[in-house]
Structure 1
Amino acid sequence: MKKIYLTTILSALLFFSFTPLTFADMSNNVSATLTVKVSPSSNSTDSIDEVTPIKGARIIVINSLGKVIGTELTDSNGIAKLQVTVIRDFRFPKKEMGQVTLITVANDYNENINFSVPINEFNDHTAKVSVSLWKVDPKKRNEPQFNNGSFHRLTVFEMLNQYAEQVGLAKQNITMYEGTTPTWGPNIKN
C-alpha cells in the first residue's frame, strides 16, 4: 500500500515539475518580425518633397524586463527588420501579444523613444512602427522625443543614457553651442 502511495506521489511530482515549463514556454512568449521605418519629422524638412527615409539610423529594442534584445541599422529605405521574442503582455488577455520599448538614434537627428510598441498585435507574427526624428539644432537643448509615457523628461534622459552606454553608442560629432551636449548617434564606439 505504501509503495502505491509513494509511486503515485513520485509520478505526480515528476509530471507537474515538467508540465508547467512546457505550457509556460508555449503561452508566455510571443515572436514576430519587427519592422521599423525611420524618417525625418515634418518639422525637420522644408517641404514634403524633401521627406526621405533616414539611412543608418540605429534601432535598439528593449523587452519588458529591461534587457536589450536587438539592435539594427536602417537600410537605404529607412527600414530595419528584427526578429524578436518577448514575454506575452497579459494586460491584453484576448491577444497573444507583447510589447517592447524602441530607442532610435541617427546622425544629425535627436533621439526618439517609444515606450510601447506592440508585438504580434494582430496574431500575424509581425509588428510595424514608424519613427519620426527631429533635426538637431545646435542652438537648442536637443532633448529626445518620447511617446506613450507620462514620464518626467529627466527620467527619460537617464534611461536613454543607460541603454546608449550599454549598447556602446558614441555621441554625434556636432559642434554645439556652450552649455549643450551632442545627442547620441548610431555609431558604436571603437
Structure 2
Amino acid sequence: MGITVREALKLGGLQRATLLAGEAGLDNVIKYVDILEIPDPRGWLRPNEFIITTGYALKNDLEAQLNLLRELARAGGAGLAMKFGRFISAVPEEMCRLAGELKLPLLSVPDDVPYVEITNPLMAAIVNEQARQLEYSDKVHRKLTQVALEASNLQAVATALAALVEREVVICNEEFKPSMP
C-alpha cells in the first residue's frame, strides 16, 4: 500500500523537482519517506523507501554518491531526491547513467524546497491510500460474510465475489477442476 513515484511528482515540493534519470522506475511504489544525510547508507535503507538528501555527507565523493544509488536499488528502494547545487554543485553524469541502469528515479529538488514540503504531502498520500485500501477490504469482508451466512450454495458466494473484484470467479475442487457450471 503506497503511491508511485509518478504520483509523488504531483505532490508538494516534488512538483518543483526535475526527473534526471531512471524514468523506467516511475511506477516504483513508495511506502516510506526518509531523509538520509550519512556517508554509508548500508543497513539504513528499506524496500519501497523514497530517500531525500542534500548530499552533504557525499560531497566531493563520486563513489559514495554512486554507492547510495546502488545500495538503494539493492534494498528495493523507490527513488532518490537530491538537492543538487549547495553541496554537490553539478549533477554527475555517472549518477544519471547508473540511475537509468538501475531503473531508480533520480530527482533534482531545488535547494529552497524544505524537506517538510516533500515528506508531509507524501506521507499524507500514502496514509490516505492505505485507508482507502483498508476501507475496500472491510467492504469485501462484510459482503462475503453476509453472503456466506445467507447463501445456500457456493455459487452465490462466487457470484458475490465476482461482483466485488470485477473478475470472473470459478470454484474448483481439490483436483482444480471447476466444481460448478
TM-score range relative to shorter protein: under 0.3
Larger helix proportion of the pair: 2
Instruction: State the structure with bigger RCO (CA 8 A, min sep 6), 1 or 2.
Output: 2
- Compute the TM-score of the two structures, normalised by the length of structure 1: 0.21
- Compute the TM-score of the two structures, normalised by the length of structure 2: 0.22
